[in-house]
Structure 1
Amino acid sequence: MASSNSALPKTMHAWTYTLASPDLPAALTLNTSAPLPPNPPPKGHYLVQVLSSSINPIDYKIPELPLIPRLIITKPASPGCDFCGRIAAVPASSSSTEKTLEVGTPVFGRLDSPTQFGTCAAYTMAPFNGVVALPDGVAPDDAASAATTGLTAFQQIVPRVKPGARVFINGGSGGVGCWGIQIAKAVGAKEVVVACSKGNFGLCESLGADRCVDYRSEDVVEAVKKLAKEDGVFDLVVDNVGVPSQLYYQSHQFLKEGVEFVQVGGGFGLGDIGALMSKMAWPRWFGGGRRKFLFLGVENSNEDFERIGGWLKEGKCKAVIEEKVDAHEEGGPKKAFEMLKTGRVKGKIVVNGWSE
């Protein structure tokens, strides 16, 4: 198997930034002659030709931090971690225990974290554990939208939900929430309750939610307490938002004893970090009881990606995409990030058209 393709271009189209100021959307520019990632790629990585990519809050939150991005991300850099594409090159040599995909194989997956060669570009460099073959019949846009959010929801739900379980998801209409509803149902949850705006009730119900709580007109904590009193405590609570904080501090009133309260949402401001640290420390101070707080760190897993891809192929899960933006249109990804930063996106935003 050839490790690299000498016919690959030396440059590519990529949306890049040097300093995310005043914010990432404002800093992005289209570079039509950006250098490709290394070819052949380093050990443990593929060079991937991107067809579609999708964006997540971490893609702008990390670059917009005041100091850390300057230390960990080489500039100019492209944002984005999620992709669907095809293998363009493999390492010159791999361990005998590593099974590499062949050049030309359609694939999808995600990078470990924001990096110099992000997925808002025609080519990216992805780790082996973040790349799996694209199942036949699954659209590239759908697969790209499943990477980070689908994997996050999978790792929230699957290890903790058994058939017949009751699940509450705070933030049901966002990227992770849309996957969480479907994955909970796919593994046998009896009832899924979500908090979202009233305007998104229909979307969440179409994905399998049994009940919806309007966070704009109801006190979410009181609503969940009432549901637990009427029908029994929940087997899992997932918080994709991070607010209200009382959802965690009052969870002993609606969450089964000894199980984890799982959070992934939240900002990177000092107040947000302080609130998170307080939640993490609370069980140690007071003995925990019913409340075991877990801030989930998502990790790439080929097996998890393969199950998500299988559910897409079988129709057990579907991608929810609010907007598709062409990579080459004027302001394409800039528009996508501006939309994402409003916090009101239903499902995902996809950037496509990178390659034919």
Structure 2
Amino acid sequence: MRAISWTAPLTALNSIIETTIEYTASAPLPPSSESLPPDSALIKVAYASINPVHYKLPELILYRNFNYSLTKRSSTPLIPAGEYSGTVIESKFLVLPPATKSSDAVIRQGVQMRDACTIGVAGLTALQCLETMSGKRVLINGASGGTGTFGVQIAKALGWEDVVGTCSTRNVEFVKGLGADGVVDYRTEDVVTELKRRGREYGEFDLLIDNVDSPWLGGITAAASFSRRRSDGDGFARIADWIAEGNVKPVIAREYKLEEAREAFLELKSGRVRGKLVIKVSGEENNIEGD
């Protein structure tokens, strides 16, 4: 079995994931479904996609030490990506779990596995942010990246009337093509001035989604709590429906081979990726075509 995994010195403060990824063409498979943990499945992965979280966490020393303790107990290598599509080979489920009870979901007909592997982090993040409140006007900061490209399209699918995105000059027409009603070019415009103008002319934004943590958004000092949403199969299924219906189209900037995973992470770190990067794992296409 072909695979990639990562290891890092537990005390290194500046461990870089692309220098610690290991590729092997002969990783062992579990001998049978009996060796799988309860309520789990053995999946032949067709495609995987990577996100900034897949390198930011492994490069934190506390995260590495925590996961090292897990691998010592389980003897399972750490995998530098957790977003994938594939085919179930063996399963310990008595029945397939309901979509709302699992972070996995069945790919519906009409959705290609190459597209499906991009939904899990970027697509669900965009959907869950947009569902936090209702309104007419939403600003998506960083509209040309992985989450932003999903965000613009999902916002229109959900019925937001005025979707405005920010991006660089080279991506202005691209973001408009995703369905954005307005675009602010942060390289040629003063973003704050332009947003104030739009607020006076069209009304205040009901929701602001910040994908890049831009300093011009400012901030306040306040006692607050963080909330966290888990991945869920129901949200995955909704996005898959939109994809099959043609209302949402995953934007894939580039496809890498599995043995090119280091190069994929290097490009991801550049901060200039338009949409998503995917890694082809298995030899066949494994696409699910439908009517």
Q: TM-score range by the shorter chain?
A: 0.7 to 0.9
Q: Tell me which residue corresponds to 1:148.
A: 121
Report the CA distance between 1:295 and its aligned residue.
5.6
SS in 2 for 1:178: helix
Could you tell me whether the CA contact under 8 Å between 1:161 and 1:187 is conserved in 2?
no
The question of whether the paired residues in 2 share the 8 Å contact of 1:158 and 1:183 is answered with no
CA RMSD after TM alignment: 2.4
- Residue number in structure 2 paired with 1:29: 22
Corresponding residue number in structure 2 for 1:227: 198
* SS at structure 2 position matched to 1:317: coil
Relative to structure 1, the CA distance from residue 60 to residue 47 in structure 2 (aligned partners, 3 Å threshold; closer, same or farther) is same
- Return the letter of the residue paired with 2:6: Y
Q: 2:261, 2:190 → 1: CA distance?
A: 36
**19, 30, 34: which one pairs with 2:8?**
19
Sort the Cα spacing of 1:161 and 1:37 in 2 relative to 1 into closer, same or farther, 3 A. farther
2:104 is aligned with 1:131: yes
1:15 positional shift: 1.2
Percent of pairs with identical residues: 37
Shift of 1:210: 1.1
Match of 2:287 in 1: none
Runs of 4+ more than 4 Å apart: 293-296
Q: Is structure 2 residue 168 aligned with structure 1 residue 197?
A: yes
> What is the count of residue pairs matched by the alignment?
272
Q: SS of the counterpart of 1:324?
A: strand
Question: Is the CA contact (8 Å cut-off) linking 1:49 and 1:85 kept in structure 2?
Answer: yes
Q: Which amino acid aligns with 1:79?
A: P
Structure 1 segments unaligned to the other structure (5+ residues): 1-11, 102-108, 110-126, 250-278, 285-292
TM-score between the two structures when normalised by the length of structure 1: 0.71
User: Counterpart of 2:42?
Assistant: 47
Q: Which residue of 2 aligns with 1:80?
A: 81
Show the counterpart of 1:272. Answer: none
| Counterpart in the other structure of 2:289 | none
Return the offset for 1:219. Answer: 2.6
Deviation for aligned residue 1:321: 0.5
Match of 1:247 among 213, 217, 230: 217
Counterpart pick for 1:306 among 233, 237, 251: 237
Once the two structures are TM-superposed, the CA of residue 143 in structure 1 deviates from its matched residue by 0.7
User: How many angstroms apart in 2 are the aligned matches of 1:319 and 1:310?
Assistant: 12
Deviates further, 217-226 or 304-313 = 217-226
User: How big is the shift at 1:220?
Assistant: 1.9
Query: Which residue in 2 is equivalent to 1:325?
Result: 256
Deviation at 1:77, TM superposition (A): 2.1
Give unmatched runs, 5+ long, in structure 2: 285-291
Give the letter aligned to residue 322 of structure 1: A
SS at match of 1:131: coil
- What TM-score, normalized by structure 2, do the two folds share? 0.86
Supply the distance in 1 between the matched residues of 2:227 and 2:200 (Cα, whole angstroms): 28
1:18 CA displacement: 1.4
Do 1:39 and 1:47's aligned partners in 2 also have CA atoms closer than 8 Å?
no
For 1:38 and 1:155, the matched residues in 2 are separated by 38
